[in-house]
Structure 1
Amino acid sequence: MMTYMIDLPKGTIEEQVLMYLTKYDKQDTMPHLLEVAEESEMLAKEFGIDPTVAYQAGLLHDISVVIPNNQRVKFHEALG
């Protein structure tokens, strides 16, 4: 089973997410992730939740896009 783990150089979380997506030719997902991250940050501020954590969660919420659809369920089942 492929692990989808890669070594990333130091940088901002946005830079690292973009590098990761680019490795798997999914960089077109980045604008969506940034929009969700910004909306999550705004909602967190409104509801008194840590906006940094909300931003990061929004940025990473679709990171499994790198796993082909026909392998995604098997991959997640293998991880428990």
Structure 2
Amino acid sequence: MAMRAKFDIQAEVAALSDLSREELTAQWVRIYRCAPPKGVRRELLIRAAAWHLQAKRLGGFSTETRRMLRSAIDRV
């Protein structure tokens, strides 16, 4: 990955901490198409937005990881 792209992602992730709770909640709704769980901590809203941003830019879970997650869910 180019150094510039890495810096841009890091800057975008760092900027998430400057967002208000309302802005972070709006991001959650945009990403997950539902309201965040009641009482969710601000830190989780930031981490969820950061993960989504990074996954969008760098790629999400590998095929193998998705398979393992599906298998784990099926066992619950």
TM-score (norm 1): 0.30
The structure where helix makes up a greater share of residues is 2
Q: TM-score, normalised by structure 2?
A: 0.31
Rg comparison, structure with higher value: 2
